Structure 1
């Protein structure tokens, strides 16, 4: 059985703790309370039971069984189907882990289905149970409280990503060779985070548009507007992260190009030095090779000053080439 926590509430207080779905249905029929069924990866048989009891639409049931859904809010007659993508920042690995939460809300029931270990909804349930007046407002109060927790849990993620981006700025100018890969990894995480939070704006607008039609309590309306404010804040910061990472990637490309140019310039300078000395040493070798050809008619071979002349010529040519290369800053 994949039931994590299951309770029936009457007037905002926990009335019963059924151990199975069938007991939950019986208690609801007998006391007329609101059921909040929390489940973790239910199987097809359990979803079939829930669908039959609460008239859940087959498309929503299929989405829940298949999972891997984008954040969305869909209404099927009197049942609201909501998909959220909670997130948490893992300090040890400096990564963002995303979950998936499906919520069915009807006239007298809430079914929450998690497809990941996090987030646990125990704290949300405890907070609502501590305020019976709020919980007595029905399934809408539970839905808004869950959305509030999910959005509040985005704040540590935003702080963690911001810290990672600050570290990247330090790595950029320190010449860390791994910074490019880290920028791409962070960009991927920010994009996933944006995919989790951007649909919330439209979802909240749709909930607000039903305030009058579904007679939503004024206090719950204020509650939802507070969630909307937090979504706007988180969204704005996440969008700024995307731009910062794009700028960081541009700077990294520029710095990498500059370092490559500097390395190339240093290599060119070394090649100039090697070429210059090779040319300087070639001059005396050339003169020596001429007089080493052993021809019979070479006047300088029998000249008294031939040897000093050859040495002077070698030295003069070598010195002249040295001065030329020195002037051109090759040496």
Structure 2
């Protein structure tokens, strides 16, 4: 297996930059900065939106790392960040344009992790719901002395993650790898929360499809949830391989695992244990989503079958009433031809007799069809 450069050790960084359009006035990168801090030994040292000064402090002292949080940066802002941290141009392009598939890439000694975020959309009724889940995106760029989180979307808040880690100095003392784990753990836990909230909706759809009280099944609702489950699968399934690589699982993936190493030799092993826990949670969530997908497929087939049966029942009723109506129509048509040689037309009792015959035939047909459950 080819050797992979280890993350979180000083090394070469790409220095290429995406060229900026000179016609566009420069926009300060600080406008996209949500938070920026220097952490030494798991303790926050300062607050500053000047990430260049924070990075310079870390590299001059040789201790700690910079955690920079960005929200929806544009191309110029991301280029300024890339110039300071030495990021590869392809990482800048992905971080700006977003809409990426969950993935894990290694650029020299910098890890680039893409995560899709999912939030549950509250709704009063299934009939009026247009979306069940909304998606966003978080990108994590981590090196030996920095970690950058780039958020796209309204449901990608990481303030709670930073605050929680700042109270866990032992965990944060493991370095940038601990931040990568905390973000991945937050995102995967949100997957499990969303899937749990969707369970009641899937149960309600199942009850409505198989309920005898609901003859008119709204297949559009089933299709809506089927679409949302596919959206979940696009966010969850591709993430399994990156987490397997981060957890050091050699048997689960074809690509070489990524090892986290810091000054303390046991830290890499500890981080891999944490990532294995996140991978287990992801596997649990994927299994639940796969179960929902199977149930919705079954419900879709059942709903289609129920609609088809209802249509057949309606057609049988229409055909039965048409057959009953055909009897008086045929008799009236025969005697409405006004031929001269029709003996019954000159009989005084022909009219009531024909009415009685039509009534008897229609009654017999109605009883026969009803007995055969056509009416």
143-152 or 38-47, which moves further after superposition?
Answer: 38-47
RMSD: 2.6
Structure 1: which 5+ runs fail to align? 301-305
Asked which structure has the greater RCO (Cα within 8 Å, sep 6+), the reply is 2
Deviation at 1:213, TM superposition (A): 7.0
Deviation at 1:150, TM superposition (A): 0.3
TM-score, normalised to structure 2, is: 0.77
In the alignment, which residue of structure 2 is the partner of 1:187? 226
Q: 1:161 aligns with which of 198, 222, 226?
A: 198
42-51 or 118-127, which moves further after superposition?
Answer: 42-51
Alignment of 1:212-291 (within 5 A): 214=261, 216-282=267-333, 285=336, 289-290=338-339
Structure 2: which 5+ runs fail to align? 1-30, 124-128, 249-256, 370-375
In the alignment, structure 1 residue 88 sits paired with structure 2 residue 119: yes
The superposition leaves residues 196-246 of structure 1 with CA deviations (integer Å, 9 ceiling, x where unpaired) of 011121011111234657454333222111111111110001011111111
In the alignment, which residue of structure 2 is the partner of 1:106? 143
In the alignment, which residue of structure 2 is the partner of 1:196? 235
In the alignment, which residue of structure 2 is the partner of 1:29? 59
Q: Distance in 2 between matches of 1:282 and 1:313?
A: 15
The superposition leaves residues 51-102 of structure 1 with CA deviations (integer Å, 9 ceiling, x where unpaired) of 2232211111111112111100000110000000010101135610111011
167-176 or 113-122, which moves further after superposition?
Answer: 167-176
In the alignment, structure 1 residue 68 sits paired with structure 2 residue 99: yes
Q: Distance in 2 between matches of 1:279 and 1:176?
A: 35
Q: Distance in 1 between matches of 2:194 and 2:49?
A: 35
The DSSP-based 3-state class of the residue aligned with 2:119 is strand
The number of residue pairs the alignment matches comes to 317
20-29 or 205-214, which moves further after superposition?
Answer: 205-214
Structure with bigger helix share is: 1
The DSSP-based 3-state class of the residue aligned with 1:100 is strand
In the alignment, which residue of structure 2 is the partner of 1:303? none
Q: Distance in 2 between matches of 1:61 and 1:179?
A: 45
Q: Distance in 2 between matches of 1:152 and 1:35?
A: 25
Question: Does the CA-based 8 Å contact 1:68-1:100 persist in structure 2?
Answer: yes
Q: Distance in 2 between matches of 1:17 and 1:213?
A: 27
The DSSP-based 3-state class of the residue aligned with 2:348 is helix
Q: Distance in 1 between matches of 2:363 and 2:233?
A: 60
TM-score, normalised to structure 1, is: 0.87
